[in-house]
Amino acid sequence: MDTLIIKGGMPLHGEVTISGAKNAALPIMAAALLTPEPCTIHRVPNLTDVRFMAQILTWLGAKVSFEGDTLRIEARKVQGIGDYDLVRKMRASICIMGPLLARLKSATVSLPGGCVIGARPINLHLKGFEALGARVNIDGGYVHARARKLVGTEIFLGGRAGSTVLGTANVMMAATLAEGTTIIQSAACEPEIVDLANFLNAMGARIVGAGSPTITIHGVKELHGAEHEIIPDRIETATYAIAAAATDGEITIRGSNPGHLTAVIDKLTEAGVRIERRGPDLKVRRGGRLKPVDVTTLPYAGFPTDAQAQMMALLTLAPGISIITERIFESRFMHVSELARLGADIELEGPSAIVKGGRPLSGAPVMASDLRASAALVIAGLAAKGTTRVLRVYHIDRGYENIDGKLRALGARIERVSES
């Protein structure tokens, strides 16, 4: 099992190029199951989650090949059963269900796994499939869905924490081959949903309204192959911007999409970070003393839950009291106890974390509990005095391409070691 060893106290300087978005790549890979023709996808990040999805597609019968960051998928013949040992490894694997149901009218998929960050039910996915005419039941840890045909209808996908991103993606993909028109109300508005819709439209789907709470899908009889480039990863962009601020450095982030990060840029600016937008690039540096801010995670275009842990690491360095409220996942504060090991003063009160910032951090061994918590601990380790060891970093490899290599190129003293 790999460990990251970080010798902190070095400001980050230089340039970093952003990879393609994991949360766009995974459903787009699944969407290739909708056609027997070849699909070519560019700017695919080299991540363990992407490799898991490739293994799932291969298990289902698709031919999958990588060439650099270009992925080619040809699903000429597919089966409708997802393997338990593969699907259980990540939550996003559930998004194979919509394409399989649309194409084969039958799908059996294991209940998915992923990070332990609170309840992440798939009830809204299943509600959408049933509204389209499928019969759905759960038995023995598997979800079974079958339909003689799928028929378009109006579907409301709002949930307890707002809209569902994967649920919107799953139902949208299923509806592309349904008879008639499907209208998804309270649809997720995330850029990754827009990217998926653009890929589906390139395949011959007829989707309008992606990026708004109402998405309309006019069903077609078949889809064809397509070529597509994945959008930049907005969470990776946010993570490097926060790391630059935490280390009192100055970096240029290449190939991002600042328009996808308005809430993050706003809060970083409020905290005293200077950010210059130059087309697809961002120049980030600390503008002096950090200031405390209050942050509440919300569905897009609000502050993303996937950047909450990283922002908390930064705010431990800001003198004063910051309050971070988590409105998406109720168990997404598992990094708090590990940040405390580095010297952070954080108290939990219900869905909020009260960060008493300004105390210096000092290196210590810490344990990563999930993907974004891992990134937060790396940021804290970069800012801390002394040496920090981040254990169980397989989490971080699920969502960050070559993070230790990119940080070293920015001047960080970080190395990866394998430990039994």
**pLDDT (0 to 100) of residue 205:** 98
**pLDDT (0 to 100) of residue 226:** 98
**pLDDT (0 to 100) of residue 160:** 80
Does 197 lie in the same domain as 62?
yes
Last residue of a domain, one of 178, 196, 229: 229
Does 165 lie in the same domain as 196?
yes
Does 410 lie in the same domain as 361?
yes
Q: Which residues are catalytic?
A: 115
Q: 328: domain range?
A: 2-19+232-418
Task: Provide the β-strand partners of residue 418.
Answer: 2
Does 128 lie in the same domain as 87?
yes
Could you tell me which of 3, 17, 2, 12 has the C-alpha nearest to residue 412?
A: 12
- CATH number of the domain within which 93 lies: 3.65.10.10
Count of positions (residues) in the chain: 420
Q: Which amino acid is at 118?
A: G
Does 304 lie in the same domain as 286?
yes
Residues contacting residue 295 through CB under 8 Å, at least 6 positions apart:
267, 303, 308, 311, 315, 322, 323, 324, 325
Does 245 lie in the same domain as 154?
no
Does 144 lie in the same domain as 65?
yes
**pLDDT (0 to 100) of residue 139:** 87
Two tokens at 157?
Answer: 């996908």
| Domains: count for the chain | 2
Does 248 lie in the same domain as 143?
no
Task: Provide the β-strand partners of residue 357.
Answer: 320
Last residue of a domain, one of 229, 251, 286: 229
Could you tell me which of 339, 338, 310, 335 has the C-alpha nearest to residue 243?
A: 310
Cβ atoms of 95 and 170 closer than 8 Å? yes
In angstroms, the CA 132 to CA 333 distance is 37
CA angle 248, 269, 161 (to 5 degrees): 115
As to burial, measured by CB atoms within 10 angstroms (0-12 exposed, 13-18 middle, 19+ buried), residue 171 is: buried
Does 211 lie in the same domain as 78?
yes
Does 224 lie in the same domain as 236?
no
Tell me the pLDDT of the chain (420 aa) as tens digits: 899 999 999 999 999 999 999 999 999 999 999 999 999 999 999 999 999 999 999 999 999 999 999 999 999 999 988 766 766 667 678 899 999 999 999 999 887 754 443 344 788 999 999 999 999 998 888 889 999 999 999 999 998 878 899 999 999 999 999 999 999 999 999 999 999 999 999 999 999 999 999 999 999 999 999 999 999 999 999 999 999 999 999 999 999 999 999 999 999 999 999 999 999 999 999 988 999 999 999 999 999 999 999 999 999 999 999 999 999 987 789 999 999 999 999 999 999 999 999 999 999 999 998 999 999 999 999 999 999 999 999 999 999 999 999 999 999 999 999 976
Does 225 lie in the same domain as 261?
no
In angstroms, the CA 378 to CA 372 distance is 10
**pLDDT (0 to 100) of residue 84:** 65
Does 277 lie in the same domain as 134?
no
**pLDDT (0 to 100) of residue 161:** 73
Last residue of a domain, one of 208, 229, 250: 229
Residues contacting residue 363 through CB under 8 Å, at least 6 positions apart:
6, 7, 8, 342, 381, 384, 385, 386, 387, 388, 389
